[in-house]
Chains A and B, each alone.
Chain A
Amino acid sequence: MVESTQSEFVTIVSNDGFEFIIPRSAACVSGALRRSLDPSSKFPEGISGRCELGEFSGVVVEKICEYFCYNEKHKDQVNVPDMDIPPELCLELLMAADFLDT
C-alpha cells in the first residue's frame, strides 16, 4: 500500500495551526483521511501528505491523533484498554468521529 514515492508520515493540521505528524497507517484508520490521503485519488492532500482539519481546534486534533495511534496500537489486541477522554472533548470528538468516518 505504501508506495516508494509516499512518505511514511503525514501531517494533520488543526484550524489554529497546530501540526501533528503521525504515521500514515495510523491516519488511515479514518476512512475519510484514508481516501483523501490516497495518492491515486489526486487530492492535494494525497500529493502533499498534509491534511488540514479546518473544523477542529488543536486540542481536538491532538486527541484525534492520539486515538489514531491508540487504534493502531490495539488493532490486533484482544483486550483493548479504554482510552481516556476528557469530558469536555466528548461531543467534539463525536462530531469529529462522524466527519472522519471512524
Chain B
Amino acid sequence: MKFTAIIASLCLAAVPFVAAEETVTSTATTTITKTLVRVSSVTPTPSSGASSSVVPSTSMSMTSIPLSRAASTAATSAVAAATSTGAAANIGAGMPAALAVAGYIVVMNPNEPGRAPQPTRLNLRTEIAMDSEIPLPPPRRIRHRSPAKNPSATGAAFSSFQRAQRLSRFDDRSSQPSSDPALFSSDDIPASGLENYHATMSGAGRKRRYRGTWWGEQVLDPKRKRADFKDKRNVDSGVWMGSDESGAESLLPSEDGSAWGEDLRKSVLDPKKSGSSAPFAFEAENMATQTRVVFRSPEESDAHRFAREVVSDCLDKGHESIDLGDFHLGTIPSGLLRPLQHLTKLPTVREAPVSENVFTSLQPFLHIYLPNNSLSTLHNDLFELSNLKVLSLRNNKLTEIPSTIRRLTALEVLNLSVNQLTYLPWEILKLMQQGELKHLTVRPNPFHLIEEAQIAEWHYKPNNKTESETDEDTSPPLQFQEQESSPNEGWTPLHVATGPITCMDMEGNPMGEALSRNKLTLTPSGLTPSVNNAPSLREVALRAVSKLPYLEQTTDEELAEYPALIVPLLQRAREVRAAGGQPCSVCQREYVIPRTEWMEWWDFTPCENGMKMPRCPGEKLRPLPFRRVGCSLSCVPGSR
C-alpha cells in the first residue's frame, strides 16, 4: 500500500495549493495536460460494469471488490470526492474506497462535464503512482492536446478508472483505448521516469515484456515461435532464375499444367490445415485453378501428352534429335516445340585419351522427326527454332508449307515427301540458294505438273530452241544442256519457267482480268497506266495495324465487335503477325494483303539427290512449282 500512502500525502499536500492560487496548476505543465487529455477522453466511454470488473485484475494486486458492494459502501465518499477536494483525502485513506469511487464516478461523469482543475493535480499523482505498471504499447491515434477537453470528476476516480481502462485494452480489444499515450520518445512516457524505476509491485523483479508490433498488435500466443511461418511461404520464391526464362508452361512440357497446379495447391493447402492465413490459401487456390486453365486444356489427347514427354526428355538429356514419329499427332500443340529453342547440348565426356574430336560445338542443332503423323497444319512454333537442322515431315497431310519456313535458316535437310502438297513456298528456294538447305526430299507429292500447267515464259532456253514461247505445243524444253558459261550450273537450282500472274484486288481477292494480263506483265511496257505502285490505303492501314502491340492478344470475340467490313482484314493482319511478318518475295517489304501471285518452276535435281552428283548433260529436268507472292501490282517477275 505504499502508493496509496503517497497518494494520500500528495493529495493532502495539494489541497492548500489549489486553494491558494491557480498558477500552481500551470506549473504542473505538460504532464498535467497530458493527464488531462487522457482522462477527458476516458470519461464518456465506458459502462461502469465493464470497467469496474476489470479493476480487480490490476497489476497492483488489489483485492477484488464487486462494484455493487464497493459502490454502496463508499457511496458517500464518492459523492464527497465529486464535490470537494477533501474527498481526495478520503480516497487516500483507503484504496478500496477509491476504487469504489472509480466505479461510481464513472457513471455520473457525463452529467458533469466541466470540472475544476483541482482533481487534476490528484490525477497527476495517481498517474505517477500507477505508472509502475506495464508500459503500454505505443498509441494508435494521434494525441489531441485540445484544451477543450478538460478533465472532469475527481482525479482519484479517474486514475483508478483509467487504470482499469488501460488494462482492459489487454483483455478486451473492443473497448476503446482510454486516451492517446505518448507517441514519440520525446514524449513523456511516465513509466520511464526515474522514480518508477525501482517501483515495487507484486510480481516485481520480473520485467514486463511487451510482445507485439509497435502499433499495438498483440502476440496471441507468445510461446509459438515463427516456426509455421515457413509453411505460409508461396511456392514461387519470387526470385527469377535463368532457367525460368521461357515460362513454366514451356519449360516443363511434360509436367503438365494440372500437375503443376496440384503441386501448388497441395503446398498451399497445408498451411491452411495448420490454421494460418485462410485468405492466402483461398487466393492461391484460385491461382491454381486459373493456371490449369491457362496452361493446358483439360482434354489434351494422349498423343500430345506423349509428345510433351518426349520433348521434355530430350530437353533434360540434351538430345538434339527429337523423334516424334508415329504419334498420330493431328496438330502440333502449342508450347510443345517452343522450349526446344532453349535446348542446351551437354558436352560429351569421354575417357582418356582425349583426342581433338572430343571438342565439339555445343551449339545445338536440332533434328526434329515428325513422320507418319496426321499433321495438316504446322504450328508457328516450329519455325521459331532457328537451330533446326533436320526436319522430317514425311507422310503427313500437309497441303501447304507456310512461307514462314524461311526463318529456318540453319535447315540442311528437309523431307516433305508423302504429303498433299501441290506446290512449295518460294522461300524454300531461297533457303537452297542462300541458306544451308542441301538435301530436299519432296517427292512423292501431288505437285502441279509443268506439262499441264500454264506457262507464261520459259526461262531455261536450250540452245537449240530460240523461241520457246512460240512452240508451246511441242514438248517443253526440259533437257538439261551443259553450258560452258557457268560450271556451277550443274549444282544450282535452275529456273525453268514462270507461270501466269494472278493479280489480286485490294481485298486480296483475285481480279477478273488476271488472265488477260498474263502476257502483258512480263514486258515492262505492258504495265497498264492504272497500275499503282503505291500501297492501297487498306494496306497502309493494315501495316500499321500489324505493328500494334496488342494485336496478338485480340480474340475473335473482341474482333467481332468491330465493323464487319474490317474484321477479315484484321484477322488477316493477326495471322501475318503470328507468323512473324510476311516479306514480299520481290521487294522484301512486309505486307499484309498479297496483290500478285504466280508460280515459278525450278529444277533442283542435285539437291534432291542430296548433292551427290550434278546434273548430267541431256538429263531430263524435273522442275517443281514454287509459289511466289508479291506485295503490290508492281512486284511481278521481271520487275527487278
Residues in chain B near residue A64, CB distance under 8 A = 537
Instruction: Give the docked Cα–Cα distance between A60 and B27 (Å).
Output: 79
Residues in chain A near residue B448, CB distance under 8 A = none
Number of chain B residues whose Cβ lies closer than 8 Å to a Cβ of chain A: 27
The residue on B at minimum CB distance from A92 is B541
Q: Which of A61-79 contact B (CB under 8 A)?
A: 64, 67, 70-71, 73-79
- The secondary-structure label for the interface of chain B is loop
In this complex, which of B506, B532, B537, B547 has the most chain A Cβ atoms within 10 angstroms of its Cβ? B537
Instruction: Give the docked Cα–Cα distance between A72 and B59 (Å).
Output: 96
Whether B562 is near chain A, meaning CB under 8 Å from some CB there, is yes
Whether B540 is near chain A, meaning CB under 8 Å from some CB there, is yes
Q: A82-B543, A91-B545, A97-B506 in contact; A76/B537 too (CB < 8 A)?
A: no
In this complex, which of A71, A78, A90 has the most chain B Cβ atoms within 10 angstroms of its Cβ? A90
Q: Which of B550-573 contact A (CB under 8 A)?
A: 562-563, 565-566, 569-570
Q: A79-B587, A82-B543, A94-B542 in contact; A102/B537 too (CB < 8 A)?
A: yes
Contacts between the two chains (Cβ within 8 Å), count: 83
Task: Report whether B634 and A94 are in contact in the complex, using a CB–CB cutoff of 8 Å.
Answer: no
Number of chain A residues whose Cβ lies closer than 8 Å to a Cβ of chain B: 31
Residues in chain B near residue A79, CB distance under 8 A = 587
Whether B434 is near chain A, meaning CB under 8 Å from some CB there, is no
The residue on B at minimum CB distance from A68 is B537
Whether A96 is near chain B, meaning CB under 8 Å from some CB there, is yes
Whether A83 is near chain B, meaning CB under 8 Å from some CB there, is yes
Residues in chain A near residue B540, CB distance under 8 A = 67, 70, 82-83, 85, 93
In this complex, which of B532, B565, B569 has the most chain A Cβ atoms within 10 angstroms of its Cβ? B532
Residues in chain B near residue A86, CB distance under 8 A = 544
Closest Cβ of chain B to A78, distance in Å, is: 7
Closest Cβ of chain B to A76, distance in Å, is: 6
Residues in chain B near residue A97, CB distance under 8 A = 506, 536-538, 541
Task: Report whether A85 and B587 are in contact in the complex, using a CB–CB cutoff of 8 Å.
Answer: no
The residue on B at minimum CB distance from A93 is B541
Residues in chain A near residue B570, CB distance under 8 A = 94
Task: Report whether B639 and A78 are in contact in the complex, using a CB–CB cutoff of 8 Å.
Answer: yes
Instruction: Give the docked Cα–Cα distance between A71 and B562 (Å).
Output: 27
The residue on A at minimum CB distance from B537 is A97
Task: Report whether B566 and A91 are in contact in the complex, using a CB–CB cutoff of 8 Å.
Answer: yes
Pick the residue among A70, A76, A95 that contacts B563 (CB under 8 A).
Answer: A95
Q: A95-B563, A95-B566, A98-B565 in contact; A77/B533 too (CB < 8 A)?
A: yes
A contacts, CB < 8 Å to B: 29-30, 64, 67, 70-71, 73-80, 82-83, 85-87, 89-91, 93-98, 100-102
